[in-house]
Amino acid sequence: MDNRAEKISRLLKEWESIKTRLNQLFRERDQKNAGEWMEKGISLFIQFLFLTNEESSTANDSIPYHQFYYKPVNIEERLAFIIARPALYHSYRQLSELMVEQEKLYVKRSIVKKTSKPDA
């Protein structure tokens, strides 16, 4: 497995633990702590977006949505909503959906990449 695939695998495992924690926090209606965990989840999603598109990023980069081929529909509006209101349950649901959609796009990219390689 290449380095990018390993990073994505670790990222998705980390997302699963964050998602479990967020489920608990929203069930308990603990918006303060949920907001903090959402910030971690948002950061993971942005990393995932860059990795899926084989781009590198730094913490201060703005997100070049137009350069990404593999991205969920309406990502700019959806991510802006999530970032503006991280402590809302609806933001959590939206982030979860973005992660699922991006994972599907990553799998699609991986399949296309494997099938386009000439046989050696």
pLDDT tens, 18-27?
Answer: 999 999 999 9
How confident is the model over 69-119, as pLDDT tens digits? Answer: 999 999 999 999 999 999 999 999 999 999 999 999 999 988 888 888 765
The predicted model gives 14-43 an average pLDDT of 95
Six-digit token pair at 37?
A: 């965990």
Q: Where are the alpha helices (H) located in the chain, listed in sequence order? A: 3-27, 31-52, 75-84, 89-116
The residue among 61 and 37 whose pLDDT is bigger is 37
**Are 15 and 41 contacting, i.e. CB atoms less than 8 angstroms apart?**
yes
pTM of the predicted protein model: 0.88
| DSSP annotation of 70 | S
Residues 6+ apart with CB under 8 A from 96: 19
